[in-house]
A and B are shown apart, each in its own frame.
Chain A
Amino acid sequence: MELEQTLPILLGLAWITPLFSFVAILFFGPRMGTHGKNAASVATAAIVCSFVFSLSALLMWIGVHGMSGGSHGSHHVLLTDSQTVLVAGSAQWNLADHQASGSEDASEAVHPAHDADAAGVQPEDAHNLHHSPDSSDSHGAGAHVPISYSGDWYTLFKVGSLELTIGWYIDALTLLMFVVVSLIASCIHIYATGYMHDELHEVIDHEVHLVAGGHLHRPGRFSRFFQSLSLFCFSMFGIVIAGNLAMIFIFWELVGICSWFLIGFYYERKTASNAANKAFILNRVGDFGMLIGLMALWGALGTFRFADSVTMSLDDGKPVVAKGLFNLVRPAENDHQLIVPDGMVKASASGEIAGIMIEHATRPRDGESELKSRISQWRSDGLGSWLLIVAGLGIFCGCVGKSAQVPLHVWLPDAMEGPTPVSALVHSATMVAAGVYLVGRLYPILAPEVLLVIAYIGMITLVIAATIAMVATDIKRVLAYSTISQLGYMMLALGVGGWVAGLFHLITHAFFKSLLFLCSGSVIHACHTNDMRRMGGLAKVMPWTAGAMLIGCLAIIGAGIPFVIGFSGYYSKDAILAQSLSFVQNNPSHQILFLAAAAGASLTAFYMFRLWYMTFAGEPRDHHVAEHAHESPLIMVAPLVVLSFFAVVAGWSFSGEGGLTGLLEQARPAGTSEGASHGLLQVSLMIPAEHESHQGAVHRSATLVAFTTAALGLLAATSLYLWKFVSVELLSRMFGPLVIFLSKSWYFDELYSFLFMKPVLLVSSLASGTDRHAIDRFVDGIAWCARRLAVFDDWIDRFVVDGVVNATAHATWNIGLKMRDFQTGKVRQYVMFIVIGTIALFVLASMLWNSTIAG
């Protein structure tokens, strides 16, 4: 089968399998084995299936497209040429298929519609099977076009040209994300089977103190945990495979709710439920911005689709190409360079357009032609640029929330309240990766100004988080701040034009951060405490965990022999630093971006090895903890070994151009390989081409800087925590206020509490006071009056109305009693009555006769 038919099926299966597992555990979870023991097997089987599907999809891709990337080498050009022909042919196949079936729903378009456009293949031309497009110019400078396939499974609704669909957009990035997410999730599922075994029977939660005294006893929630994990994986796959922004938003929110389930897994603990709410609410803040961005795109461009879509026209049966977001913002006619799309220009110039339309009211055709001629004029006047920037910034807001960037980063350290496997999943491959992934996915539509904002946000985030990590004492919090810091690196990389560098770091980081979290989980499992000050000397009792964690630490600090070989982080961090250096060389006013990144590398090395030394090296500080510690069971160590392997080799490239970077290079958005020579509004802003940072002096100096800074950090940590040249207590006394400032996390929580929570609480207490003292009083008063009135009414009813009725009845009764006396039963008396009555009648009649008739 052809690749464009197979990949959606494989990835669709990989996507949907965890959903089946979720549904199965949802309905039958507690009945799966004793206490739901087999739920873990179901969920693990599902995610391993996903991994197998994803991996086979990736291997098929590599089989067709190779592992080398981009626009280097003549071999690749030849390969892509043949691919273009193939694509043109299969496009024809698809179109014919649709003509036959008459279905307009599953519009499977093959994209390189970019490719086809660039190569001069109009969809009509695709009818000619033997047409061999001259694609030489498609691989000219700056016109590299990624190979991608897109289409729709299901249309949610369609109104005119507007439609929302459940569809796919598959390129090398999608495939890589699928493999990485499913691989890490598989490891975490297996690990969690061991880690969560406490939940199999009744749990005594020692952190919940009941009012009645004692601790909370509750039934285990083993199956529930795996149910949420499955849904989480399903949601993350949904984001990765999504073919349009609306679908991304749907699964974006699903990821949010899953994180809420999982962070709040121990929801009886006040801290856990607060942390879950905090994560959810801060994400809503970001999503509000994202909605604004979505509205800007939808309102101005009328589509959420990434790629172009080909549908059959109902009138003449010819294919109609509806442009997707990527092609609208970077049209093929413009050599895939960023321009403000017509829709946004028109939206900004609505006043002028109305004027023109009124002017040509009688001949609308003239008006439209004048409109067309004026659009380029308006565009060069800068109309619509702001709309594009707002759209980009809005969507980045969502990513700030999800990827825990300053200022919405405060939820992530609190999210450590969840079980450790969840922390590993949330902080490596899924939730926080979603934000970086979305920036990477929407990279073509982000204006240089937006990228600059992203770079600065990333820079601030990485420095702030790294400094906090230096003084944190909770082992998971160190890792949490480390995650934030590394996410800052990714955002910085994307912002300074390092598309491959940012996403490369996302993937390598996913491996070593999940490894680090699982190791910390293993430590916590053994020590039953998160506090590093009570650990120490654990390397002897848990050698496997210590070794794996050492590998993770080396990977995250980017250890390696310069220019020769290194851990995965060595390659990705070097790429980021090189791109930052290249950026600041082109934009000297933004020097701080590189300096902060270099300083961050040093801080990273310091806090990671501080963690390792405090936990594993030296003598045990708390003998109770040390005696209790033990190596974790095989089911928890095995995933550590697997992840360690990938933490080491993920960055390696095979046979020259191959490897992760090569694959990522294949997915590089069209027109971004040469960077941008100027911004939309800020002419001096220049985004350098990424391949420039791979070579020559830039790369050399960046590598040396990275090595030196990391070595300095490592040296500082070693001399303070291993060799103990200087007492740490003495240092913290010397820098007392600074240490307190850092250990309070720069007072962000307090600041937000002061800025947002306090005012909100004040307003709410005011509102509740108004409610209680004014509105409630008023309502109560009305109710009191009504009650009084009812009492009065009751009295009237009881005494007046009932009284009249009762009196009548009483009188009737009494008259009856009196009349009874006449009924003597004596016949003779009756006769007397008759006689007397007759006589009386006669007397009366004779008396009245005269007065009435005669008188």
Chain B
Amino acid sequence: MNFFNILAEPVGVSHYLLVGAVLFTAGVVCMVIKRNALGVLMGIELVLNGANINFIAFGSPVLRGESTVSIGLDGQAIALFVILLAAAEAAVALAITLNFYNNHATVDVDRAEDLKG
């Protein structure tokens, strides 16, 4: 099977992508199944980091097998942006969560139904 051949190959982009995909999926699943707002936030972090791994993998000339093309920092730069955004987002989200807790005495996202149409 093609999928299992990956284990026999030397470490390359696809391995990183696989790890990123596992992380992403895990983050999504976490977001979906966790009712605790903090759990959801963790899921988000996983998703972001899964994406980050993709950027890093595609951004590495070593991993791409090319040595001459770019300055070699574009993927990493975006990953840094994502980390920065994740931090800012976590700060805002935790503030929202804290306020929600203050108002409702819970962090269960299913109780946050005020946006129901």
State the CA gap A331–B54 with chains docked (Å).
133
State the CA gap A832–B109 with chains docked (Å).
14
Select from chain A the residue with minimum beta-carbon distance to B29.
A835
Q: How many chain-A residues does the 8 Å CB contact rule pick out?
A: 13
**Interface: A801 (CB within 8 A):** no
Selected contact of B40 from candidates A819, A827, A835, CB within 8 Å: A827
Selected contact of A820 from candidates B109, B113, B117, CB within 8 Å: B117
The answer to whether residues A835 and B113 also contact, given A827-B40, A828-B40 and a CB cut-off of 8 A, is: no
Q: Which chain B residues lie closer than 8 Å to A831 at the CB level?
A: 28, 31-32
Select from chain B the residue with minimum beta-carbon distance to A824.
B116
Q: Which chain B residues lie closer than 8 Å to A72 at the CB level?
A: none
CB-based contact B117/A825 at 8 Å: yes
Selected contact of B28 from candidates A819, A820, A826, A835, CB within 8 Å: A835
Selected contact of A835 from candidates B32, B34, B115, CB within 8 Å: B32
**Interface: A822 (CB within 8 A):** yes
Select from chain B the residue with minimum beta-carbon distance to A819.
B117
**Interface: B66 (CB within 8 A):** no
CB-based contact B113/A825 at 8 Å: yes
Q: Which chain B residues lie closer than 8 Å to A819 at the CB level?
A: 117
**Interface: A101 (CB within 8 A):** no
Selected contact of A825 from candidates B31, B33, B35, B115, CB within 8 Å: B115
**Interface: B9 (CB within 8 A):** no
Select from chain B the residue with minimum beta-carbon distance to A828.
B32
Q: How many A-B residue pairs have CB under 8 A?
A: 36
**Interface: A369 (CB within 8 A):** no
CB-based contact B112/A825 at 8 Å: yes
Q: Which chain B residues lie closer than 8 Å to A825 at the CB level?
A: 112-117
**Interface: A373 (CB within 8 A):** no
State the CA gap A819–B40 with chains docked (Å).
26
The answer to whether residues A828 and B116 also contact, given A835-B28, A835-B32 and a CB cut-off of 8 A, is: no
Binary contact readout A817-844 vs B (1 if CB under 8 angstroms, 0 otherwise):
0011111111110011001000000000
CB-based contact A826/B117 at 8 Å: no
State the CA gap A828–B34 with chains docked (Å).
8
Q: Which chain A residues lie closer than 8 Å to B113 at the CB level?
A: 824-826
Residues of B1-54 contacting chain A, CB below 8 A = 28, 31-35, 40
The answer to whether residues A832 and B114 also contact, given A826-B109, A827-B40, A827-B109 and a CB cut-off of 8 A, is: no
Q: Which chain A residues lie closer than 8 Å to B109 at the CB level?
A: 826-828
State the CA gap A831–B40 with chains docked (Å).
10
Select from chain A the residue with minimum beta-carbon distance to B44.
A831
Selected contact of A827 from candidates B28, B33, B112, B117, CB within 8 Å: B112
State the CA gap A825–B109 with chains docked (Å).
9
State the CA gap A273–B109 with chains docked (Å).
101
Q: Which chain A residues lie closer than 8 Å to B33 at the CB level?
A: 828
Q: How many chain-B residues does the 8 Å CB contact rule pick out?
A: 15
Selected contact of A823 from candidates B28, B110, B112, B117, CB within 8 Å: B117
Binary contact readout B75-114 vs A (1 if CB under 8 angstroms, 0 otherwise):
0000000000000000000000000000000000110111
Q: Which chain A residues lie closer than 8 Å to B117 at the CB level?
A: 819-825
CB-based contact B31/A828 at 8 Å: yes
Residues of A797-855 contacting chain B, CB below 8 A = 819-828, 831-832, 835
Selected contact of B110 from candidates A822, A828, A832, A835, CB within 8 Å: A828
Nearest-Cβ distance from residue A598 to partner chain B, whole angstroms: 122
Q: Which chain B residues lie closer than 8 Å to A827 at the CB level?
A: 40, 109, 112
Nearest-Cβ distance from residue A688 to partner chain B, whole angstroms: 123
Q: Which chain B residues lie closer than 8 Å to A826 at the CB level?
A: 109-110, 113
Q: Which chain A residues lie closer than 8 Å to B32 at the CB level?
A: 828, 831-832, 835
Select from chain A the residue with minimum beta-carbon distance to B34.
A828
CB-based contact A828/B35 at 8 Å: yes
Nearest-Cβ distance from residue B1 to partner chain A, whole angstroms: 20
Q: Which chain A residues lie closer than 8 Å to B116 at the CB level?
A: 823-825
Residues of B52-83 contacting chain A, CB below 8 A = none
State the CA gap A826–B110 with chains docked (Å).
6
Nearest-Cβ distance from residue A777 to partner chain B, whole angstroms: 65
State the CA gap A822–B116 with chains docked (Å).
9
Nearest-Cβ distance from residue A561 to partner chain B, whole angstroms: 130
State the CA gap A280–B116 with chains docked (Å).
92
Nearest-Cβ distance from residue A259 to partner chain B, whole angstroms: 92
Nearest-Cβ distance from residue A296 to partner chain B, whole angstroms: 99
Nearest-Cβ distance from residue B37 to partner chain A, whole angstroms: 9
Select from chain A the residue with minimum beta-carbon distance to B113.
A825
Nearest-Cβ distance from residue A111 to partner chain B, whole angstroms: 109
Nearest-Cβ distance from residue A486 to partner chain B, whole angstroms: 110
Nearest-Cβ distance from residue B25 to partner chain A, whole angstroms: 10
Select from chain A the residue with minimum beta-carbon distance to B116.
A825
State the CA gap A835–B32 with chains docked (Å).
9
Nearest-Cβ distance from residue A341 to partner chain B, whole angstroms: 107
Nearest-Cβ distance from residue B29 to partner chain A, whole angstroms: 9
State the CA gap A828–B112 with chains docked (Å).
10
Nearest-Cβ distance from residue B36 to partner chain A, whole angstroms: 11
CB-based contact A823/B115 at 8 Å: yes
Nearest-Cβ distance from residue B90 to partner chain A, whole angstroms: 16
State the CA gap A823–B113 with chains docked (Å).
10
Binary contact readout A199-239 vs B (1 if CB under 8 angstroms, 0 otherwise):
00000000000000000000000000000000000000000
Nearest-Cβ distance from residue B34 to partner chain A, whole angstroms: 8
Select from chain B the residue with minimum beta-carbon distance to A832.
B32
Nearest-Cβ distance from residue B83 to partner chain A, whole angstroms: 22
User: Which of A820, A821, A825 has the most chain B CB atoms closer than 10 A to its own CB?
Assistant: A825
State the CA gap A819–B34 with chains docked (Å).
26
Q: Which chain B residues lie closer than 8 Å to A828 at the CB level?
A: 31-35, 40, 109-110
State the CA gap A662–B11 with chains docked (Å).
157
Nearest-Cβ distance from residue A496 to partner chain B, whole angstroms: 117
State the CA gap A825–B33 with chains docked (Å).
16
Nearest-Cβ distance from residue B15 to partner chain A, whole angstroms: 22
Q: Which chain B residues lie closer than 8 Å to A824 at the CB level?
A: 113, 116-117
State the CA gap A828–B110 with chains docked (Å).
8
State the CA gap A827–B35 with chains docked (Å).
9
State the CA gap A835–B28 with chains docked (Å).
8
Select from chain B the residue with minimum beta-carbon distance to A821.
B117
Nearest-Cβ distance from residue A825 to partner chain B, whole angstroms: 3
User: Which of B33, B34, B109 has the most chain A CB atoms closer than 10 A to its own CB?
Assistant: B109
Select from chain A the residue with minimum beta-carbon distance to B33.
A828
State the CA gap A747–B32 with chains docked (Å).
121
State the CA gap A676–B49 with chains docked (Å).
142
State the CA gap A821–B117 with chains docked (Å).
7
Binary contact readout A404-432 vs B (1 if CB under 8 angstroms, 0 otherwise):
00000000000000000000000000000
State the CA gap A584–B33 with chains docked (Å).
145
Q: Which chain A residues lie closer than 8 Å to B114 at the CB level?
A: 825
Select from chain A the residue with minimum beta-carbon distance to B109.
A827
Select from chain A the residue with minimum beta-carbon distance to B47.
A831
Select from chain A the residue with minimum beta-carbon distance to B43.
A831
| Those 5 A-B pairs whose CB atoms lie nearest each other, nearest first | A823-B117, A825-B116, A825-B113, A825-B115, A820-B117
- Some 12 contacts from A to B, beta carbons below 8 A apart, are A822-B117, A824-B113, A824-B116, A825-B115, A826-B113, A827-B109, A827-B112, A828-B31, A828-B32, A828-B40, A828-B110, A835-B32
Known: A820-B117, A825-B114, A832-B32. 8 other contacts (CB 8 A): A821-B117, A823-B116, A824-B116, A825-B116, A825-B117, A826-B109, A827-B40, A828-B40
